[in-house]
Amino acid sequence: MKKMYALLVLLLVAAMALPACAPAAPDCSKPETFCVGLVTDVGKIDDKSFNQSAYEGVKKAEADLGAIVQYIETTDAKDYDKNISTFADENYDVIVTVGFALGEATIAAAQKYPNTNFIGVDQFQAETLANLTGLSFPEDQAGFLVGALAALMTETGKIGSVLGTDAVPPVWRFGEGYRAGALYIDPAVEVFVVYHNDVGFDKTFVDPEWGASTAKSMMDQGADVIFGAGGKTGKGAVEAAAQAGAYAIGVDIDQYYTLPNAAPRMLSSAYKLVTPGVFDLIKLAKDGAFPGGNFYGQAGYAPYHDLDASVPAEVKAKMEEINKMIADGSLQTNVPPVKP
């Protein structure tokens, strides 16, 4: 009994000692400690799309620059300010905020915390603050490319695009770029473009059921190529299209790698090089060369992967021609920066 009692005492003492052995939170105020925090929009960090690609840029900073990294997933839009301040109050060196909706909160934080550098993904800066850089992309060009591809590959003459809210300029540019690219190839092609504006702003990117049902409605009308753009909403559309045997087109990143259920029917993705864009800005901040203002990343279209053999050589050649013309400026999408 005494041995058992002694053992219990030892276990209790060991348990009480554990918190003292836990690693201390990093002191981000120290010059030698480089801290990077990321605040998502209402989507999750593993959304297989925009938030995830931004976080991969942050993780690259951890691997390549030795940064201490952490993230906060926003569950309610009213928490934007609080979530950003959580990192700023802990003296993080760089804070990445993901999405157009966080724009105002990011500007306010940059003004309040001048010693912290802020990266606003998809946040165009009308006025320049030295410690805030908006990372933007030519979504209209990426949308144009996959719209052209859809028009080149459709057998029914009908294609569709299922998107988040058009109140977000990058989403609108994706949708209207898609329409413009398709009509550039064939003015007679029927293009269904539907934006999710039926519920609250913060819900339009996390509604895969709506995305799937909208894609199915388009396919019921004859669409045989579906482009999905808008977080989990777009994911629902892409997976529904693939399951129905239509061609699916992803967004933001090469979703062939992140949506395995859709991969066999993934024709391409309209992607933005978010990961290298975020990493490049973090590195500039660490090197003391943070630009402020606006920083433009690149956009394009993903490989055909499993469907490569199904894409005719003349289609591939036409896509390369269009991509080259967009890159050198000889072909314009004519999509305005924001919805008129």
> For 16-31, how does the pLDDT look when each residue is reduced to its tens digit (9 = 90+)?
443 433 345 788 989 9
The DSSP letter of residue 67 is -
Task: Kindly list the distances between the CA atom of residue 131 and the CA atoms of 39, 50, 114, 264, 288, in Å, as whole numbers in the listed order.
Answer: 17, 23, 6, 44, 11
* 160 DSSP β-pair partners: 192, 226
- CA-CA distance, 53 to 275, in Å (whole number)? 5
| Residue 159 binned pLDDT confidence (cut-offs 50, 70, 90) | very high
Query: Rounded to an integer, what distance in angstroms lies between the CA atom of residue 266 and that of residue 75?
Result: 30
| 63: Cβ contacts below 8 Å, ≥ 6 apart | none
Mean pLDDT on 44-60: 89
Q: Are residues 199 and 213 in the same domain?
A: yes
Whether residues 221 and 262 share a domain: the answer is: yes
- Mean predicted confidence (pLDDT) in 246-253: 95
Band of residue 46 on the pLDDT scale cut at 50, 70, 90: confident
Indicate whether 12 belongs to any domain: no
What is the Rg, in whole angstroms, of the alpha carbon atoms belonging to the chain? 23
Average pLDDT, whole number, for the chain?
Answer: 91
Q: Are residues 266 and 149 in the same domain?
A: yes
| pLDDT over 70 (residue 9) | no
Alpha-carbon distance of 127 to 313, in angstroms, equals 46
Work out whether strand 299-301 and strand 266-272 pair parallel, antiparallel, or are unpaired: antiparallel
Dist CA 56 CA 275 (whole Å)? 6
Task: Say yes or no: 165 and 247 in one domain.
Answer: yes
User: Are the C-beta atoms of residues 237 and 212 closer than 8 Å to each other?
Assistant: yes
* Residue 61 maps to a domain: yes
Domains in the chain, number: 2
Averaged pLDDT for residues 62-80 = 95
Residue type, 47: D
Asked whether residue 23 is domain-assigned, the answer is no
Q: Is residue 209 part of a domain?
A: yes
Q: Does 48 or 281 have the greater pLDDT score?
A: 281
Inside any domain, residue 241: yes
Q: What is the pLDDT of residue 50?
A: 81
pLDDT for the residue 13: 40
CATH number for the domain spanning 122: value is 3.40.50.2300
Same domain? For 130 and 143 the reply is: no
pLDDT tens figures, 175-223? 999 999 999 999 999 999 999 987 666 689 889 999 999 999 999 999 9
Residues 78, 128 within the same domain: yes
Res 82 pLDDT > 50? yes
Q: In Å, how far are 29, 129, 240 from 208, measured between CA atoms?
A: 41, 37, 9
Measured CA distances, 241 to 131, 183, 222, 252, 305 (Å):
43, 21, 12, 18, 17
20 vs 68: which has the higher pLDDT: 68
Mean pLDDT across 244-255: 95
Considering the domain architecture, whether residues 232 and 84 belong to the same structural domain is answered as no
Task: Spell 10-40 as b/e; 16+ CB within 10 A means b.
Answer: eeeeeeeeeeeeeeeeeebeeeeebbbbbbb
**The model's pTM:** 0.80
- Does 211 lie in the same domain as 312? yes
Burial 239-268 (b: 16+ CB within 10 A, else e): bbbbebebbbbbbbbbbbebbeebbebbbb
Specify whether 89 is located in the same domain as 100. Answer: yes
| Residues 284 and 228 placed together within one structural domain of the fold | no
Domain that holds residue 109: 35-137+276-296
Residues 79 and 151 in one domain: no
In contact, 92 and 28? CB cutoff 8 Å: yes
